[in-house]
């Protein structure tokens, strides 16, 4: 015989989920008769209802064949108030009354149930009902109870951990727990535990998802005898966060239906039809002919609103209007969702998937509109409109909160289960296991040192067997790159001052689901853009540590690009806020660390992390006549490599090169890279011995370095400057400015020069003097290579990974 031993009805009135408490909603609206009918329909031979601390629901169906009375008892560990739930099965009213008197104390309750021979089960024993559960509490439960539930509403990892714990208990473990907690275990063989299955359904959507089977039984007494003896099998499947979220939405919908009579609109409106059929348990409501006509015209009406919004004619962008409009667009454009709207339902598991897809798409549509408005207002410094947009976007939180709550609870369960299992079976409460890092970036598709560093990190991680994935959101990235998860953007904003620089809006729910499903233990944000915000959101929801790298001096770039002091100040405020949300801030240089601290980032959070270079790729031996292929056959070669953009101080370099060339026409300026200044630079250098290589692959860049004589890097805004290390690894002396991070990678007078000036004449004279001293030039090149041989990328990666180890949960 089969039975779902854990189901709630509308008589469970006190919700444990904060989101239901927030709206004043009961825990369930399911009618007892519906539970009975649905359970029998799904093949259950027996039916019971286990409401919280009441048997009213169970009593209302007790007269039906195969039904009996049960309850879910809320009890407490008196020493600290930790809450636990216990199922008491097949009880009468007198027994229930006695339970109510002593249920506040779990020790008294357990003794009473054993003494009265009431069959009982510890429900979802690895779930902290009120946030106080520790591994030690679970140890006490193992001493107090013999039956434990695999719960159909909880995370699979928790159920799997419970199965391993109960399967591997030994007399020695029970003795250790008994001695530690001073609890006398049950007589007989207390290390032998029995597992039951129950759905813990609250919405009517997932009844019998998990259930209990007792083979070779044909009556309630036989079933209960088998249950008590442990001759039972837990059946069914675990839940996913999408199922939990679907349940919360369903309960919320049933609550508002009871208050606002939403059902009267069902069958008349496309959106309400969909909500009713996706969220209400039971059969679809019958649709009248008039209702079909009304639904048809509502679809037409929503279609006109969508067309007006797309053409820019609609000025109605209030959150409610926008959400309904975009919801209708999604429903009408998706054949599967349209069928749900028409009452053609799938199984509950399929409905949960449909609902996730719908909410994700609706959130993406509305978020894209809000994000566009926000960046328009930021670029125009419309402060009041910025806050209005942020306030309106808050409506999205209401739409997505059940998913956020579900993912948060499930990941918390998963993390807790690891610690509990280790404590019970291994005697240690500290979680163990492999570190897995989700590394978020907004710039993977760009041509710069940050993107190259990220790709090098990913390659090194794969080579060393470390689990790290790069998470990006860029439609131009190649598909299927190993170790990279690229999400399709839901929208884009193009910076007016930087036409080729695009800001892509990521799909938030898809990202949260990915991070959860891949079981990442750490989150790293390499940029504070939209993907960086998604990283922060994921860390908060999933309660994972988050580290951030400050790669780029974004506020200074904003000032140089816009010429606006207010914009720089606004970007600084956001930057400091963002990095203060991190658990650890990785600064690429001491200068950057000091600047962040001076601006307001907590110094306790900041660490200067090791950086390295690929000393095998960037090597003096790579000289192969690369420049001849670019038309350079003679002369002395000065190299700049990097982005050709305003913030790199290239105007000064051009002026210095022209001054140098007037004294000696042997010099060539090689500009390796691409960027928005390439057109202006070509005009400025017209007629000069200058070569623009365009974008170079890593191998081509290595050849280019080794084919030149001196590397010059005038940027004053770089936080690190990978190219400075690559050039030195290739045997080139370097000249850099006395600002930012690059200067920390040069030993002044040994591997290169650090100039405390932005005067083109000073640069021209310094370059000319160094190039005229061939012996000094070669000695610096040898010293540069020797220094970089001690700073390999692999060693730097290993030291960075140790920082993750130190910050593990």
Q: How far apart are CA 141 and CA 169, in angstroms?
A: 13
Region of poorest pLDDT, from 292-306, 539-553, 737-751? 292-306
Given 573, 608, 643, the domain boundary residue is 608
- State which H helix or E strand residue 768 sits in: helix 760-772
Q: Please tell me the total count of domains within the chain.
A: 4
Alpha helices in 563-649 (DSSP H): 565-580, 590-599
Kindly list the strands in the beta sheet with 734-737, ordered across the sheet, starting from the edge strand earlier in the chain: 690-694, 667-672, 636-641, 710-713, 734-737, 752-755
389 confidence band (pLDDT: 50, 70, 90): very low
Are 477 and 371 part of one and the same domain?
no
pLDDT higher than threshold 90 for residue 275: no
- State which H helix or E strand residue 493 sits in: strand 491-495
Q: Average pLDDT of 695-706?
A: 93
Q: How far apart are CA 588 and CA 535, in angstroms?
A: 20
Q: How far apart are CA 295 and CA 293, in angstroms?
A: 5
Are 586 and 634 part of one and the same domain?
no
384 confidence band (pLDDT: 50, 70, 90): very low
pLDDT higher than threshold 60 for residue 54: yes
Most confident stretch, 249-258, 430-439, 699-708: 699-708
Are 230 and 259 part of one and the same domain?
no
Contacts of 736 (CB under 8 A, 6+ apart): 713, 714, 721, 724, 742, 743, 745, 746, 752, 753, 754, 755
358 occurs within a structural domain: yes
DSSP conformation class of 513: H
Question: Which CATH number goes with the domain that contains 517?
Answer: 3.40.50.2000
Are 347 and 480 part of one and the same domain?
no
Q: How far apart are CA 700 and CA 693, in angstroms?
A: 10
Are 570 and 650 part of one and the same domain?
no
Given 608, 639, 659, the domain boundary residue is 608
798 occurs within a structural domain: no
Predicted local confidence at residue 809, as pLDDT: 46
151 confidence band (pLDDT: 50, 70, 90): very high
89 occurs within a structural domain: yes
pLDDT higher than threshold 90 for residue 85: yes
* Residue for token pair 């079976």: 425
Predicted local confidence at residue 109, as pLDDT: 98
Contacts of 187 (CB under 8 A, 6+ apart): none
Most confident stretch, 244-258, 308-322, 763-777: 763-777
DSSP conformation class of 496: T
Q: Average pLDDT of 390-395?
A: 50
pLDDT higher than threshold 70 for residue 390: no
775 confidence band (pLDDT: 50, 70, 90): very high
Q: Show contacts of 211-219: CB within 8 Å, 24+ apart.
A: 211/2, 211/3, 211/4, 211/5, 211/44, 211/152, 211/235, 211/236, 212/2, 212/3, 212/4, 212/5, 213/1, 213/2, 214/1, 214/2, 217/1, 218/1, 219/1
Most confident stretch, 92-96, 367-371, 528-532: 92-96
pLDDT in tens, 429-488: 444 458 999 999 998 987 677 888 899 899 999 999 999 999 999 998 988 899 999 999
pLDDT above 90 as % of the chain: 60
- How far, in Å, are 314, 325, 390, 590, 612 from residue 321 at the CA level? 11, 6, 17, 50, 52
The domain in which residue 557 lies consists of: 438-608
DSSP 3-state of 211: strand
Q: Show contacts of 221-227: CB within 8 Å, 24+ apart.
A: 222/1, 223/1, 223/3, 223/45, 223/46, 224/89, 224/90, 224/119, 227/89, 227/119, 227/147, 227/196
Are 289 and 233 part of one and the same domain?
no
pLDDT higher than threshold 50 for residue 726: yes
Q: Average pLDDT of 522-540?
A: 95
Are 639 and 586 part of one and the same domain?
no
Predicted local confidence at residue 133, as pLDDT: 97
Alpha helices in 685-721 (DSSP H): 698-706
Are 491 and 384 part of one and the same domain?
no
pLDDT higher than threshold 50 for residue 636: yes
421 occurs within a structural domain: no
Q: Average pLDDT of 609-617?
A: 87
Predicted local confidence at residue 319, as pLDDT: 60
Predicted local confidence at residue 299, as pLDDT: 66
Predicted local confidence at residue 631, as pLDDT: 86
The better pLDDT of the pair 264, 543 is held by: 543
pLDDT higher than threshold 90 for residue 143: yes
112 occurs within a structural domain: yes
Q: Average pLDDT of 114-138?
A: 96
Predicted local confidence at residue 702, as pLDDT: 95
Predicted local confidence at residue 383, as pLDDT: 43
Residue 217: phi, psi to the nearest 5? -120, 150
Predicted local confidence at residue 256, as pLDDT: 83
Question: Which CATH number goes with the domain that contains 184?
Answer: 3.20.20.140
Q: What is the mean pLDDT of the chain?
A: 87
Predicted local confidence at residue 393, as pLDDT: 52
Predicted local confidence at residue 286, as pLDDT: 62
Are 221 and 347 part of one and the same domain?
no
349 occurs within a structural domain: yes
CA nearest neighbour of 162 among 173, 147, 175:
147
pLDDT higher than threshold 70 for residue 375: no
Predicted local confidence at residue 267, as pLDDT: 67
Are 131 and 220 part of one and the same domain?
yes
pLDDT higher than threshold 80 for residue 584: yes
DSSP 3-state of 381: coil
Given 350, 380, 400, the domain boundary residue is 400
pLDDT above 70 as % of the chain: 86
Q: Average pLDDT of 398-415?
A: 90
Region of poorest pLDDT, from 302-311, 338-347, 385-394? 385-394
Predicted local confidence at residue 68, as pLDDT: 98
pLDDT higher than threshold 70 for residue 155: yes
Q: How far apart are CA 707 and CA 513, in angstroms?
A: 48
Predicted local confidence at residue 452, as pLDDT: 82
Predicted local confidence at residue 216, as pLDDT: 95
Q: What is the pTM (predicted TM-score) of this model?
A: 0.84
799 occurs within a structural domain: no
Region of poorest pLDDT, from 234-248, 394-408, 578-592, 688-702? 394-408
Q: Longest Cα pair distance anywhere in the chain, in angstroms?
A: 107
Predicted local confidence at residue 647, as pLDDT: 83
pLDDT in tens, 176-209: 999 999 999 977 899 999 999 999 999 999 999 9
Are 213 and 270 part of one and the same domain?
no
754 occurs within a structural domain: yes
Are 14 and 125 part of one and the same domain?
yes
pLDDT higher than threshold 90 for residue 117: yes
DSSP 3-state of 311: helix
381 confidence band (pLDDT: 50, 70, 90): very low
């Amino acid at each position: 015989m089969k039975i779902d031993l854990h189901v709630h009805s509308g008589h469970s009135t006190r919700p444990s989920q904060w989101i239901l408490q927030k709206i004043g909603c009961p825990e369930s609206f399911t009618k007892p008769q519906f539970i009975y009918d649905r359970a029998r329909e799904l093949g259950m031979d027996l039916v019971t209802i286990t409401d919280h601390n009441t048997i009213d629901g169970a009593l209302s169906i007790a007269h039906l064949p195969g039904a009996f009375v049960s309850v879910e008892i809320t009890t407490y560990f008196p020493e600290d108030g930790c809450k636990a739930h216990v199922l008491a099965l097949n009880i009468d009213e007198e027994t229930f009354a006695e339970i109510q008197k002593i249920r506040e104390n779990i020790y008294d309750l357990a003794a009473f149930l054993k003494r009265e021979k009431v069959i009982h089960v510890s429900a979802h024993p690895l779930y902290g009902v009120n946030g106080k559960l520790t591994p030690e509490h679970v140890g006490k439960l193992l001493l107090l109870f013999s039956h434990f539930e695999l719960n159909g509403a909880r995370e699979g990892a928790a159920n799997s951990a419970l199965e391993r714990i109960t399967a591997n208990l030994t007399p020695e473990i029970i003795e250790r727990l008994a001695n530690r907690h001073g609890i006398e275990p049950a007589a007989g063989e207390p290390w032998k535990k029995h597992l039951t299955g129950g759905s813990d359904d609250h919405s009517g959507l997932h009844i019998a998802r998990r259930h209990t089977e007792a083979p070779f039984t044909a009556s309630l007494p036989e079933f209960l005898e088998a249950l008590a003896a442990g001759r039972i099998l837990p059946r069914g499947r675990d839940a996913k966060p999408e199922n939990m979220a679907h349940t919360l939405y369903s309960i919320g919908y049933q609550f508002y239906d009871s208050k606002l009579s939403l059902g009267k609109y069902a069958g008349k409106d496309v959106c309400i039809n969909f909500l009713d059929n996706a969220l209400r348990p039971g059969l679809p409501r019958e649709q009248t002919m008039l209702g079909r006509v009304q639904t048809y015209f509502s679809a037409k009406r929503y279609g006109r609103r969508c067309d007006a919004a797309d053409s820019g004619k609609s000025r109605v962008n209030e959150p409610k209007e926008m959400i309904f409009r975009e919801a209708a667009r999604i429903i009408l454009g998706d054949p599967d969702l349209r069928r749900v709207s028409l009452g053609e339902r799938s199984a509950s598991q399929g409905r949960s998937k449909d609902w996730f897809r719908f909410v994700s798409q609706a959130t993406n549509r509305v978020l894209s509109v809000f994000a566009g408005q926000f960046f328009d207002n930021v670029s125009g410094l419309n402060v009041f409109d910025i806050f209005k947009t942020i306030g309106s976007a808050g409506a999205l939180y209401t739409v997505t909160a059940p998913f956020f709550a579900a993912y948060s609870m499930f990941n918390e369960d998963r993390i807790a289960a690891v610690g509990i299992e280790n404590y019970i079976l291994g005697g240690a409460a500290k979680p163990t296991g492999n570190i897995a890092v989700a590394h978020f970036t907004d710039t993977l598709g760009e041509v710069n040192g940050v993107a190259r560093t990220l790709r090098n990190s990913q390659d090194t991680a794969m080579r060393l067997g470390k689990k790290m994935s790069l998470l990006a959101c860029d439609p131009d990235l190649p598909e299927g790159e190993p170790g990279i998860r690229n999400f399709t953007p839901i929208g884009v904003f193009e910076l007016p001052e930087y036409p080729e620089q695009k800001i892509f809006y990521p799909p938030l729910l898809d990202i949260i689901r990915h991070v959860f499903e891949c079981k990442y233990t750490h989150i790293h944000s390499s940029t504070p853009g939209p993907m960086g915000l998604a990283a922060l959101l994921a860390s908060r929801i999933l309660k994972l540590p988050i580290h951030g790298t400050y790669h780029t001096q974004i506020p200074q770039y904003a000032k140089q690009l816009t010429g606006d002091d207010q914009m720089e100040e606004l970007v600084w405020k956001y930057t400091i806020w963002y990095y203060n949300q991190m658990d650890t801030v990785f600064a690429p240089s001491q200068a950057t660390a000091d600047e962040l601290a001076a601006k307001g980032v907590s110094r306790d959070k900041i660490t200067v992390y090791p950086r390295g270079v690929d000393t095998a790729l960037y090597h003096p031996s790579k000289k192969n006549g690369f420049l001849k292929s670019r038309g350079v056959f003679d002369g002395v070669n000065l190299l700049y490599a990097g982005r050709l953009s305003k913030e790199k101080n290239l105007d000064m370099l051009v002026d210095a090169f022209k001054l140098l060339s007037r004294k000696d026409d042997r010099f060539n300026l090689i500009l390796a890279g691409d960027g928005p200044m390439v057109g202006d630079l070509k005009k400025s250098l017209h007629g000069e011995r200058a070569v623009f290589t365009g974008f170079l692959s890593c191998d081509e860049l290595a050849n280019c370095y080794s084919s030149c004589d001196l590397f010059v890097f005038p940027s004053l805004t770089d936080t690190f400057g990978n190219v400075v290390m690559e050039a030195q690894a290739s045997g080139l002396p370097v000249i850099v400015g006395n600002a930012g991070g690059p200067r920390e990678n040069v030993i002044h007078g040994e591997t290169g020069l650090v100039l405390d000036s932005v005067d083109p004449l000073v640069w021209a004279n310094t370059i000319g003097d160094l190039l005229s001293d061939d012996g000094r030039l070669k000695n610096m090149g040898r010293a540069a290579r020797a220094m970089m041989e001690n700073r390999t990328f692999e060693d730097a990666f290993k030291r960075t990974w140790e920082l993750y180890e130190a910050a593990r949960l």
